[in-house]
Structure 1
Amino acid sequence: MSQPSTLVDILLERASQETAAPVIYLPDGESDEVRLTYGEIDRHARALAAQLQTMTQPGDRAMLLFAPGHEAILGFFGALYAGLYPVPVLPPRPGQSPDDLLSFAADSKPSVLLTSAAIAPMIQGMLAATGSQTPVVAADAPEASGDDWTRPDVSRDDIATLLYTSGSTRRPRGTRLTHRVIIDRLRPLKEMMERISGHESPIVSWAPLSHAMGLFANVLQPLYCDRTAVILSPVAFMEKPTRWLHAITRYEGGITTAPNFALQMCVDRSTPEDREGLDLSTWKAIALGSEAIRLDTLDAFAEMYEPYGFDRRAYQMAYGMSEGFGVGTFYIEQAPDAPVHLATAFDRDELLDGRAVAVSPEAPGAQMIVRCGIVPPNEDRTVTVFDPETHLPLPEGRVGEMWIRGASVADGYWENPEATAETFGGVRADTGEGGYLRSGDLGFYHEGQLYVAGRLKDMIIVRGKNLYSVDVEALAENSHPALVQGASAAFSIEENGEEQLVTIVETEEAEPDVESIASAVRQAVGEAINLPVLSVVVVEAGSLPRTRSGKIQRYKAREQFLAAR
């Protein structure tokens, strides 16, 4: 395949190839299949684009509001074929507030809303209630002929999609991703995949198509690499997580992506009967990212599924974000016969003081941190650790903010120059060199490997002590057997003139012993970091606010806590 300039070029190329790998969507996560060839996607996109071109102008935004299903793929490429900028967003569930959707729409100002025929009446009714006049088009039932399509004048520097950040620590912003940025990210990942799993292993994923991880893993990477894409409905995965693993078995999947909580769900919500018949021996790489990766989760998953052919060497850390669009995907070299090394122990108190001091895992105060690994060879990017206050680079062993440069970094936020300058305008104080993406993530290098310590804005300062939210949450979740792993929020509030620590934890028990749980959380946190917890709130599993990809939204949890006081 010659080097394409745009995603439209890639799809047209694949559509012309009779042997191109298919897209397989599994609505129920099991036996129900929807198979699409790229020729079919191309023909459908032409017809939809022909309709859209009668009602929009090139450069207009098309908001994509799809329930889980293959229709989102048709809508995405139909918008691109019309010269529009797709804005993928999950529609609100029945009874859910449309506030997030309305804020996305107010920011992106779409000229049309694309959805499926099945939920179009619901979307139209919701818009009517808000007084919106934006037209709604059913992407799976275009009312035009592909013969009437006019190929738009799209260049590699035009916007290919607006992705709204998940809002786990701040209000959503629309990240501008051009065709050039996306393709510059797809290219090196193709090389990495071929190195790890060969040329033909299917990519099997369940991540929502409205999220960067889902759009990238489910649609764009398989398209670019000409690999079979097997896509599960995220609803089917959430109902029964082992459906994902059975899909890997059935289609002999070699590559997938997932956040930490997906592995934890496969451990917590799996029975021997659920695991019967699994064969994970073809699974060569799982790119883990989107949230903090916990060693206890990796160990628990591996111990449960190694009897079914899973190999710990499949773990690959994918540090990235919408702004970087997978810019930080790292490669962990694992020698075939050597023990798999996924994490290193560091002194917790030293970390909180900004220094990474390796210690024995058995040492008092030792904290295990999963390593990201190394930048894959020949990557046109750098990840440098800076002091967030002085804007000077830090040496190995010092904790600071990770700043990223490279061709796969987005060029800013949609119509938000202030936020663009703040996030994408990092400048070295010593040389004046600019163009850095300020990730907002804290990290450090140790023996040439990158480690992520937490979010800069998730740093809690209580009584002069710096704490990472993820560390407090891990302590809380492991303090009592009734608590759900990966389902808590830790933050601080001002009480009587000083910052105090609050934790919210989830339980699946119908009648939990709240007093016992609160006592266990306070004891675990107090013993580890020598600080009291002002309030421990125990809530039903699934109650904490989450992003579209399943990450806990700490700022919303904090707002809800304060509003309820």
Structure 2
Amino acid sequence: MPGILGHRASLPRQLAFRFLPDGTDDAAVEWTYHDLAEHAAAVATGLLRRELTGHRVVLALDPGLHYIAALFGIFQAGATAVPSFPPTGKRALARFLSIVEDCAPDVIIADTRLADRVAQFEAELPASAARPHWMFVDDDWFRRAAGARRPDGDTRATVRTDVPALLQYTSGSTGDPKGIVLTHDNLVSNCRALEANMGYEPDRVGCTWLPPYHDMGLMGTIMLAVHGGWPLVLMPPAYFVQRPYRWLKAVTDHKVTISVGPNFAFDICTSSITDEELATLDLSSLRQVFCGSEPVSRATLDAFRDRFGPRGYDETSLIPCYGLAEATLYVSGKRTGSAVKTVWLDKAALENGRVRHLTAEDAEAADAGRAARIVSCGEVAEGHEVIVVDPGERRQAEPGRVGEIWVRGPNVATGYLGKPELTAATFTARLADPGDELTYLRTGDLGFLHEGELCVTGRLKDLVVIAGRNLYPQDIEHSVRSAHEKLRGAAVFSVPGESGEELVVVTEFRGTARQLAEEIDAVRDAVTAAVTAGHGVAPADVHFAPVGAISMTTSGKVRRDATRKAYVQGTLKKLTPAADALPLSVR
């Protein structure tokens, strides 16, 4: 990757990034590749002076241009970058400290505003943990560093492409975060695989609000843009969350042709953008909109299309895709310009691990709730292979059966940092056939192949098994969120009961405890009815929580395992109306 930036900077000046610090054009900052190279060289010089080639450097800056400069500066110094949250806020600090303890970095790069908190951070670390050097940067630091750097100084180490470039920590959606070791070869392979899907377009302009410490935001936008040489409009994630309209307004204003977002982003745009805001949008420039990071919902896509189609949005631009950090990012995606393919399945068969196709015209099955709609995640990336495996037997699943998705190819990482047994089990899995020596990455995800395309149905660890039926929690969670207008997030899992596993629904109520008290019977009945009618099982408990109580990853995925643990331990927050505010029926 550092060689690619060097090549871009050697060409005539070209816009690389347009950063919108507040999510609008009011204070936009533009950098060319020359600007990026100069800022990266300042960071590289500081690291090379400390002889940190081959060492790990935690990158804990706020999303923005300094983050990108520091990333490429780490690459140029031949060090390994470790993307992290900035350590602000209780949850972010806990994750930051766990990363520092796990990877034992020599340097942490952070914003100067955190300089007076080093003692506080280090006091939170175990006594046995190493105390890294801190490098605090801001605009003034970069100006001073540029003035002090010798014009003829060497700011680049010799970097082999097969050495660790990045230590990408997993989102932790199904357990504790783990550091994935990615080489420069992995990063370039991922860019090439995505570009094979996208094709070449001379007028390409990108836009992203995704966190740069998440694989989709980092490898799927920032690195991809530098590799491809096209300008990227960026805004901090917080400004999208505060007002999702800003994303689509940036697409409109900058005639963006390519963007990306997880399923929830399309949901909140549909529900939160007002009619007045809608009238200002023109989405006709979009040619590729990647949707991944979490299961893609057909209902979400339908609602987004209906809402924004009149403003120029063409659903053929949408690219449902599948990937994971252990494969750098990209595994499969819909071919650019083709129609989104929806596979209609018999829900009862799917619950028993079988793929029984229905026709889209089978309205009776759909109305009766007997049909499951699975959005295809497209063709497998060029140069890669996907097989579907019975996880217990370790044999390829028979046609028409759901199994675990296994992947092999140059995007697959080398393993987890400091976890040799887990690395061997996950990254070098073999089929039970003794004559088959090929190794695969076990993704932990479930799905099947249909007409050469990958369809993902859920996660192996999240699967809810009740009375021998395989229930996919994301489907039930969608039913919960749709059951009542005041419900936001949802997490579904099972717990042991007197006669077997029982279903628990945790949902966030948008309102006060008193408001819940006034509506609790109606809301609980609505949830129970929606889950029972749609999935044939009644929840044993509906736990109402305040907004923000359900544990989420940086990309917006539900951390069901963490939520389940908190529920079982009795530490999950609950919106509890006062006894005198409850209706007589529930006192």
Structure 1 pair 326–164 and aligned structure 2 pair: CA distance change class (3 A):
same
2:582 paired residue number: none
Of 397, 404, 408 in structure 2, the residue corresponding to residue 405 of structure 1 is 408
**Greater share of helix:** 2
**Mean alpha-carbon deviation: is it higher for 280-289 or for 319-328?**
319-328
TM-aligned CA deviation for residue 282 of structure 1: 0.5
**Mapped partners of 1:9, 1:343: distance in 2:** 41
After TM superposition, the structure 1 stretch with the greater mean CA deviation from structure 2, 162-171 or 75-84, is 75-84
Is the counterpart of residue 243 in structure 1 residue 250 in structure 2? no
Post-superposition offset of 1:493: 1.5
In the alignment, structure 1 segments of 5+ residues that lack a partner are: 1-6
> How far is the alpha carbon of 1:227 from its aligned partner?
0.3
Q: Aligned to 1:374, what secondary structure does the other structure show?
A: strand
Task: Name the amino acid aligned to 1:523.
Answer: A
CA distance in 2, matches of 1:92, 1:150: 28
Q: CA deviation at 1:49?
A: 1.5
Q: Does 1:165 align with 2:165?
A: no
Indicate which of 451, 454, 469 corresponds to 1:450: 454
In structure 2, stretches of 5+ residues that fail to align are 572-587
Map 1:450-529 → 2, pairs under 5 A? 450-484=454-488, 487-496=489-498, 498-510=500-512, 511-512=515-516, 513-529=519-535
Secondary structure of 2:49's counterpart equals coil
SS in structure 1 of the partner of residue 38 of structure 2: helix
C-alpha change, 1:189 and 1:547, in structure 2 (3 Å) is same
Q: Deviations over 1:160-201 (max 9, x none)?
A: 111001011111111111001111111132233235xx2221
2:24 to 20, 30, 38: 30
The CA distance in 2 between the partners of 1:201 and 1:137, in whole Å, is 35
The alpha carbon displacement at 1:128 in A equals 4.4
User: Once structures 1 and 2 are overlaid, which stretch shifts more, 506-515 or 546-555?
Assistant: 506-515
* Contact 2:283–2:311 (Cα < 8 Å) also in 1: yes
Contact 1:480 1:521 in 2 (8 A): yes
Q: 1:380 to 1:341 in 2, by over 3 A?
A: closer
Residue among 544, 555, 559 paired with 2:550: 544
Give, in angstroms, the shift of residue 542 of structure 1: 2.6
Alpha-carbon distance change, 246 to 205 in structure 1, aligned in 2, over 3 angstroms = same
Q: 2:323·2:331 contact (CA, 8 Å) conserved in 1?
A: yes
Aligned to 1:3: none
- TM-score w.r.t. length of structure 2: 0.89
Q: Is it true that 1:199 corresponds to 2:202 in the alignment? A: yes
The 1:470–1:480 alpha-carbon spacing in structure 2 relative to 1, beyond 3 Å, is same
Structure 1 residues 407, 496: closer, same or farther in 2, change over 3 A? same
Q: Give the one of 121, 135, 145 matched to 2:133.
A: 135
Look up the equivalent residue of 1:10 and give its one-letter code. I
- Of the structure 1 ranges 205-214 and 83-92, higher mean CA displacement relative to structure 2 is found in 83-92
1:536-563 residue CA offsets vs partner (Å, 9 max, x unmatched): 1122333211111221111111121122
Match of 1:561 in 2: 567
Contact 2:211-2:237 within 8 A present in 1 as well: yes
Task: Please list the CA deviations of residues 104-123 of structure 1 after superposition, one character each: whole Å capped at 9, or x if unmatched.
Answer: 11211111100122334345
Q: Distance in 2 between matches of 1:56 and 1:122?
A: 26
Separation (CA, whole Å) in 1 of partners of 2:114 and 2:318: 38
Higher alpha-carbon deviation: 31-40 or 91-100: 91-100
Instruction: Judge conservation of contact 1:396–1:446 (CA < 8 Å) in 2.
Output: no
Does the 8 Å contact 1:476/1:505 carry over to 2? yes
Kept in 1, the 8 Å contact 2:345–2:374? The answer is yes
1:382-405 C-alpha deviation (Å, 9 max, x unpaired): 111111111111243210011111
Q: Which amino acid aligns with 2:461?
A: K
1:158, CA displacement in angstroms?
A: 1.0
Aligned partner of 1:260 in structure 2 is: 263
Number of the residue aligned with 1:373: 378
Q: Which moved more, 1:32-41 or 1:472-481?
A: 472-481
Give me the TM-score of the superposition, normalised by structure 1. 0.93
What do the CA deviations read for 1:43-73 (whole angstroms, capped 9, x no partner)? Answer: 1222222112233432111011122322211
Cα distance in 2 between the residues matched to 1:341 and 1:64 = 37
1:30-429 matches, cutoff 5 A: 30-31=24-25, 32-96=27-91, 98-122=93-117, 125-130=120-125, 133-140=131-138, 141-142=141-142, 144=145, 145-147=148-150, 148-194=153-199, 198-332=201-335, 340-361=339-360, 362=363, 363=365, 364=368, 365-375=370-380, 379-429=382-432
The answer to whether the 8 A contact 1:174-1:414 is kept is: yes
Following TM superposition, by how much is the alpha carbon of 1:509 offset from its aligned partner in structure 2, in angstroms?
3.1
Instruction: Say how many residue pairs are matched.
Output: 549
- Larger CA deviation: 412-421 vs 131-140: 131-140
